[in-house]
Structure 1
Amino acid sequence: MFFASDNAGIAHPAIMEALTRANTGYAMPYGADAIMDEVRAQIRDIFEAPEAAVYLVATGTAANSLALATYCQPYQTVFCSPVAHIHEDECNAPEFYSGGAKLTLVGDAPKMTPEALKAAIEGEETRGVHGPQRGPLSITQVTERGTVYSVAEIKALSEIAKSYGLPVHLDGARFANALEALGCTPAEMTWKSGVDVVSFGGTKNGCMGVEAVIFFDPEKAWEFELRRKRGAHLFSKHRYLSAQMQAYLQDDLWRDNARKANANCARLTAGLRDAGVTFLHDPQANIIFCAFPRASHQRLHDAGALYYVWSGSLEGDDPDELLEARLVCDWSISDEEIDRFIDLVKPA
């Protein structure tokens, strides 16, 4: 019963088979391998973006940080949600790779609103040389609280950013989960909605370790290449990144895995609702934030369940006190694990 993170599940067998196939003979290094040529064509086709510049890195932190650094000067600020992945989970890497650019947190909710974004943008460039200058907008999709921006919401935020001449970055570590939740196309969720660059995640959705960075306007491509190399994220044996991404895209594996993860989350959500669990946010993809009694948490931990207790302590005198939990489903969790978890949550 592992619900701690979709980072922790196994790599899909098709990914491992692709790595084995790639592990023969010789291949040109640094992204000049033949598999990468196919990956570029696949991604351009999927995103309906024939001119897009496509690059691979091994981690989401590198993808987000290098992409943002390409669009952000050291004296600028990145506008993002208070629970954006780049703020909560990346140890100031965007600030580091951009040479010191700061983050401006927009609003007080998991999803930004156009009104809050406009106010945050207007609040900068008010002190001349003494304050940060306006920089990119970064949208986390799926949000770190398990909610999803609609296509209309992304468009509305992008329109605000573009009205100030600011570029838009989409952190798509769970891109496929959001896409399946919305039922739209990759193009509709990105460049057709005003997104300039996207981190297209693979690691959380069945890959061993690979993320794509996609620039819909190739003007920034060369700068990104330089930053990737200077930042020590250009793989020499790049074919092992390429092979993962090729298999991930082949026959819509990326979408199939996301459908499974989202379906697993829906099954878990339904069971928890029946058990009377309180939800902190409406689960829309593969992440749940909820609260249930300490006694249930203790039963689950005694049975070996792994997940994050988000607030409160397992130790305490009141068995009925509600403790918050974060539960994340990946594609490989079985129905049996989900149902056993639900049974243990129910009052004894």
Structure 2
Amino acid sequence: MQFLSDNAASVHPALWRAMQAADAPDAPYDGDALSQRLDAAFGEVFGRDCAVLWAATGTSANCLTLASMVQPHGGVVCHREAHIEVDEGGAPGFYLHGAKLMLAEGEGAKLTPAAIAGVIDPIRNDVHQVQPHAVSITQASEYGRAYQPAEMAAIGAYCTERGLRLHVDGARFGNAVAFLGCTPWEACQGAAALSFGMIKNGGMSAEALVFFDTGLADVARYRRKRAGHLQSKGRYLAAQLLAMLQDDLWLANARHANAAAQELASAAHDRLLHPVEANEVFLRLTGPEREALRAQGFSFYDWGDDAARMVTAWNSPMEHVTALARAIAAL
């Protein structure tokens, strides 16, 4: 009974069917008919013009997007626990040719305008110090916390005021939108670009770089090629993205994962380390308690010495979820 990561979940059958349907000759790279449909398809989701590129991994999606915004002598403000800082193996420095990550604090791995200001206000405006060019936030955050629309609006307005571009790492964007019950744009408003996560939500090998500042996409196309991410048969990636948008499959998948996480949360009570606002559950668990759960067949990651992280997915069997909830309650 697997609660390690939504990355370990299987691929949704609709995506297999879409890739099979795409298995016919077409133009190479991103000149195929499916890739050419992405701008309009995502524009309909967000209710505004956008330019959309595909990439095969979340790390490349984040870093190629940021590289289109930030010069090598600049910096990106992000949370100290941000995925780009903690879990991408130095990829931002590689893709951004040495641009600096400027670390901020915030409860639940979330940033606020005040937290951003605390990082950038002391920086002198001269060539001797790295100047901030962008802000990157994660929706939902690394601790499964969702930015409310008002919080997004405040950060977006602050970035505009300070001349900073806003990037949203949306690895679990679907889970955030499903929790918030708002429009997709309200969940990322103010962003110049969004890394729209699909793989954690039932995809196989496709993430979307959604540029609301559409001119940035022209830069990203060159950087994607240079980085080795311009796949020759891009139609298979485009097919996955379009299939996820069809009939809001991405939201249906996210809702299932969120509901499963809420069932675990309801059994955890005061063990919860963070409110559950997506599909990640962080619990206080001693070493013996973790081993007791594993002995019953549950897999999950330790989170330090006295905690665990459990992640539900689009296809988490509810009987497994209920069994884990009962096991947690019985500890």
Match of 1:309 in 2: 302
Distance 1:117 1:236 in 2: 40
> Could you tell me which amino acid in structure 2 is paired with residue 38 of structure 1?
R
Structure 1 residue matching 2:127: 3-state secondary structure: helix
CA RMSD of aligned residues (A): 1.4
Matched, 1:195 2:181: no
Matched, 1:329 2:322: no
Deviations 1:95-123 (A, max 9, x none): 11111001111124311121121121112
State the shift of 1:249 in Å: 0.7
> Could you tell me which amino acid in structure 1 is paired with residue 319 of structure 2?
E
Q: For the Cα contact (< 8 Å) 1:299–1:344, is it kept in 2?
A: no
Distance 1:306 1:160 in 2: 41
Distance 2:234 2:287 in 1: 47
Matched, 1:300 2:300: no
The TM-score with structure 1 as length reference comes to 0.91
Match of 1:246 in 2: 242
Q: For the Cα contact (< 8 Å) 2:263–2:325, is it kept in 1?
A: no
Structure 2 residue matching 1:7: 3-state secondary structure: helix
Deviations 1:171-216 (A, max 9, x none): 11111100111111112223xx311111111000001111111111
Q: For the Cα contact (< 8 Å) 1:118–1:160, is it kept in 2?
A: no
Deviations 1:262-313 (A, max 9, x none): 111111111222xxx511111111111111343331122123311001122x
> Could you tell me which amino acid in structure 2 is paired with residue 341 of structure 1?
L
Deviations 1:218-252 (A, max 9, x none): 22221110000001111101011011111111111
Structure 2 residue matching 1:137: 3-state secondary structure: strand
Among candidates 128, 131, 138, match of residue 130 of structure 1: 128
Deviations 1:27-49 (A, max 9, x none): 11111111122232211111112
Q: Label 1:187 to 1:346 Cα distance change in 2 as closer, same or farther (>3 A).
A: closer
Match of 1:89 in 2: 87
Match of 1:317 in 2: none
Structure 2 residue matching 1:86: 3-state secondary structure: helix
> Could you tell me which amino acid in structure 1 is paired with residue 18 of structure 2?
A
Mean Cα deviation higher: 25-34 or 59-68: 25-34
State the shift of 1:151 in Å: 1.0
Q: Percent identity?
A: 41
Among candidates 174, 177, 180, match of residue 176 of structure 1: 174
Among candidates 250, 263, 270, match of residue 267 of structure 1: 263
Q: For the Cα contact (< 8 Å) 1:271–1:339, is it kept in 2?
A: no
Q: Label 1:347 to 1:176 Cα distance change in 2 as closer, same or farther (>3 A).
A: closer
Structure 1 residue matching 2:313: 3-state secondary structure: coil
Alignment gaps of 5+ in structure 1: 313-322
> Could you tell me which amino acid in structure 2 is paired with residue 13 of structure 1?
P
Match of 1:342 in 2: 325
Distance 1:108 1:248 in 2: 32
Matched, 1:285 2:278: yes
> Could you tell me which amino acid in structure 1 is paired with residue 137 of structure 2?
I
Matched, 1:47 2:40: no
State the shift of 1:62 in Å: 0.6
**Paired residues for 1:182-221 under 5 Å:** 182-190=180-188, 193-221=189-217
Q: For the Cα contact (< 8 Å) 1:176–1:258, is it kept in 2?
A: yes
Distance 2:80 2:215 in 1: 30
Distance 1:100 1:293 in 2: 40
**Paired residues for 1:102-117 under 5 Å:** 102-109=100-107, 110-117=109-116
Match of 2:77 in 1: 79
Which structure: larger Rg?
1
Structure 2 residue matching 1:331: 3-state secondary structure: coil
> Could you tell me which amino acid in structure 2 is paired with residue 242 of structure 1?
A
State the shift of 1:124 in Å: 2.2
Q: For the Cα contact (< 8 Å) 1:12–1:206, is it kept in 2?
A: yes
Distance 1:203 1:194 in 2: 24
Distance 1:265 1:347 in 2: 18
Deviations 1:33-77 (A, max 9, x none): 111222322111111123x11110011101110110110011111
Match of 1:319 in 2: none
Deviations 1:100-158 (A, max 9, x none): 001111124311121121121112235x2222112101011110011111111111112
